[in-house]
Amino acid sequence: MKTHRLPTRRSHGVAVALLSLAAASSAATAAHAEEGKELRIYNWSSYTAPDMIEKFERETGIKVSIDTYDSNETLLAKLSAGSSGYDIAVASSDFVPIMIEQGLIQPIDASTFKNYEHLAPEWKTREWDPGNHYSIVWNWGTTSAVVDTAVYKGPTDSLGLLFNPPAELQGKIGMSGAMSEVISLALVYLGKPQCTSEKEDLKALSALLEAQKPFVKVYDAAGVAERLGAGELVASQTWSGAAYQARQQRASLHYIYGKEGVYGWADNAVVPKTAQHPENAKAFLNFLLQPENAAMLSNFTGSQNGITGSSAFMTKALAEAPEINPPKDEKISFGHVCPEAATRAYDRIWTKVRG
């Protein structure tokens, strides 16, 4: 997640049923929509703001339908089948290059969009798609550690609270159940490059995770915000959006921007090669680039977007939340598709840790 995150990684808090209700509420518009004014979106569960969809339908007369998936692998398999018919899909940054290489998505040339000027400069040069020829950012965030400062009173400037925890945290720590997420954050803590397959790096990685294991209560990202909020965990690896939601339940929770850095994730809107309504898809992506519309999405997901000026339209609590406002000098390491040698090595380490 990516494979980032399961849907909970993004802290999606509203049931998919709301999207059906949103679609139903715009039925009158859809009934009068001319033939071909449709848009099919394939996205993570509860990751599309209903009010944003309603606004798009009102303004364009395009009827939107949404199907959901649970992993990047599922999305890749669907697009590889060649007959999905989806007009927009949302893929993690480490999967975008795969889809480009395999010819599964088509160019959108986002720089030609009217609202492209609102896309923040750093999101125009990302390594997985510099120039936004195939994608634009949907939401993004970071993965780090959360600690309950009512339990732990010491410094909160290091990921060592997870990987080398003090006594008061031992046995009460949560980690992701996804190999890629745990290893990626561990490499950040160790100061090692992502996707390394160097022997000494792998030795250090394995030793770190094996030493940490006795102190971990659970390897599972699902429901992490709820477990932190309820006090079942006093520290955990988590995503920025989930950390924000957890803090709404327990004010003593603190999201750590460690001196080692944090791990970054980004989800991106793409247009599949088999899209039946590519022009409608481009209209939606241009719509998403408007600050007020991007803010609707962030208010729903609790995660950052890449649109300049959108914070003015967010709820005050979210716009000012430390979880979505990394320090300017914070090192953020984004994920890559790792070579086979690294992947095989990580599989061996993970099997040993979880065995």
pLDDT digits (tens, 9 = 90+) for 179-237: 888 999 999 999 999 999 999 999 999 999 999 999 999 999 888 999 999 999 999 99
User: At 136, phi and psi to the nearest 5?
Assistant: -135, 150
Residues 6+ positions from 271 with CB-CB distance below 8 Å: 87, 88, 89, 105, 106, 108, 134, 278, 281, 282, 285
- Confidence check: pLDDT of 33 > 90: no
Query: In terms of C-beta density within 10 A (0-12 exposed, 13-18 middle, 19 or more buried), how is residue 341 classed?
Result: exposed
Residue 178, pLDDT score: 84
Q: How confident is the model at residue 341 (pLDDT cuts 50, 70, 90)?
A: very high
Tell me the mean pLDDT in the region 38-53: 94
Tell me the mean pLDDT in the region 288-294: 98
Tell me the mean pLDDT in the region 241-264: 95
The CA distance from 86 to 272, in Å, is 7
Give a three-class secondary structure readout of 219-235.
ECCCCHHHHHHHCCCCE
Measure CA 309 to chain center.
Answer: 21
Whole-number mean pLDDT of the chain?
89
- Closest C-alpha to 244, from 307, 298, 187, 176: 298
7 vs 216, higher pLDDT: 216
Structural domains in the chain, CATH included, are 7-140+264-324 (3.40.190.10), 141-263+327-354 (3.40.190.10)
Is residue 102 a contact partner of residue 80, using CB atoms and an 8 Å limit? Answer: yes
- Confidence check: pLDDT of 155 > 80: yes
Tell me the mean pLDDT in the region 270-291: 97
- Confidence check: pLDDT of 12 > 50: no
Is residue 98 a contact partner of residue 337, using CB atoms and an 8 Å limit? Answer: yes
The CA distance from 343 to 193, in Å, is 14
- Confidence check: pLDDT of 337 > 90: no
Model pTM? 0.81
Q: How confident is the model at residue 336 (pLDDT cuts 50, 70, 90)?
A: confident
The CA distance from 251 to 112, in Å, is 44
Give a three-class secondary structure readout of the chain.
CCCCCCHHHHCCCCCCHHHHHHHHHCHHHHHCCCCCCEEEEEEECCCCCHHHHHHHHHHHCCEEEEEEECCHHHHHHHHHCCCCCCCEEEEECCCHHHHHHCCCECCCCHHHCHHHHHECHHHHCCCCCCCCCCEEEEEEEEEEEEEECCCCCCCCCCCHHHHCCCHHHCCCEEECCCHHHHHHHHHHHHCCCCCCCCHHHHHHHHHHHHHHHHHEEEECCCCHHHHHHHCCCCEEEEEHHHHHHHHHHCCCEEEECCCCCEEEEEEEEECECCCCCHHHHHHHHHHHCCHHHHHHHHHHHCCECCECCHHHHCCHHHHCCHHHCCCCCCCEEECCCCCHHHHHHHHHHHHHHHC
Percent of the chain topping pLDDT 90: 80
At 308-335, the pLDDT tens digits run 999 999 999 999 999 999 999 999 998 7
Across 6-15, 69-78, 125-134, which has the greatest mean pLDDT?
125-134
- Confidence check: pLDDT of 9 > 50: no
At 97-124, the pLDDT tens digits run 999 999 999 999 999 999 999 999 999 9
